[in-house]
Amino acid sequence: HGAAASSGPLAGRRVLITAGGTREALDPVRFLGNRSSGKQGIALAEAARDAGATVHLIVGHVETELPRGVEISSISSAVELHEATRAAAENADVVIMAAAVADYRPVSVGEHKMKKSEDGTNPVVELTRTPDILRGVVDDRNEHARDQLIVGFAAETGDGEHSVLDFGRAKLHRKGCDLLVVNQVGTSTVFGQDTTEVTVLSARGAEDAHASGSKAEVAQFIMARVGVELGARSD
Ligand code: CTP
Ligand code: CA
């Protein structure tokens, strides 16, 4: 692929995508992390690019190659992702939050590598909440009355009482985004795999849309849903 396509269903649209996992430092050599491979977010960046969009990818830690033909910013922690995303979202038509963001970070980061204690006591790591980046993007959009489509992701397991989609629908409303891409975790599926299964929920009331296949196929499906939402707005 060379320069961004000038035609396609998303031609002229500026799409911001976050992907990969964050790392929350404990000291200069250690961190708290997660198992995100970044594959789905990177596949989304490629699908948006191939649909003609101008793509900005803000990427944390990934286990796969970065795409060509898109602008890339690298971050490590949730706070860095927060700052980069809110700044970049100012001129995006679509924001897709596929990154796996740590919910907590260590309160303090050691300046030096932590040594084992000499007296046999075990350390206790105190954690504090990270900013909710998706909520921040939604709040900024609403405050500035921006015409922006915001897409969140959720990996849910469900419990005895509530299904995965029950939790998904509650999260869609809590976050205030326009679309929520829900995938089912809990088994060995999704993380790091090349195939996936998702349901896209719409705050506008469009029917739930279900898809499964390779992460590239699912990414194309999600970008098609984005196109449908953008079209519904301009009607
Ligand atoms: N997200 C975010 N900032 C955070 C945590 C999550 O922007 N600090 C985004 C994720 O990128 C995703 C969406 O919010 O698009 C949902 O993430 P999820 O972890 O499912 O939601 P939480 O609100 O953290 O809820 P939970 O308690 O279920 O983890
Ligand atoms: Ca979370």
CA gap 161, 61 in Å, rounded: 34
Give the Å distance between the CA of 101 and the centre of ligand 1: 6
Token duo for residue 59: 């990427």
Q: State yes or no: 39 annotated in a binding site.
A: no
3-state helix, strand, coil in the chain (%, to 5): 30, 25, 45
Which residues are the active-site residues?
34
- pLDDT score, position 157: 87
Closest CA to 16 of 50, 43, 51, 53: 53
In the block, residue with structure tokens 């830690």: 61
Nearest CA to ligand 1 atom 12: 153
- pLDDT score, position 189: 54
Strand partners, 57: 17, 72
Does the predicted TM-score (pTM) go above 0.90? Answer: yes
Q: CB under 6 Å to ligand 1: residues?
A: 78, 97, 99, 101, 103, 130, 132-134, 152-155
Q: State yes or no: 75 annotated in a binding site.
A: no
Q: State yes or no: 131 annotated in a binding site.
A: yes
Give the Å distance between the CA of 177 and the centre of ligand 1: 12
Atom of ligand 1 nearest to the CA of 180: 15
Residues in the chain with pLDDT values less than 50: 1-2, 4
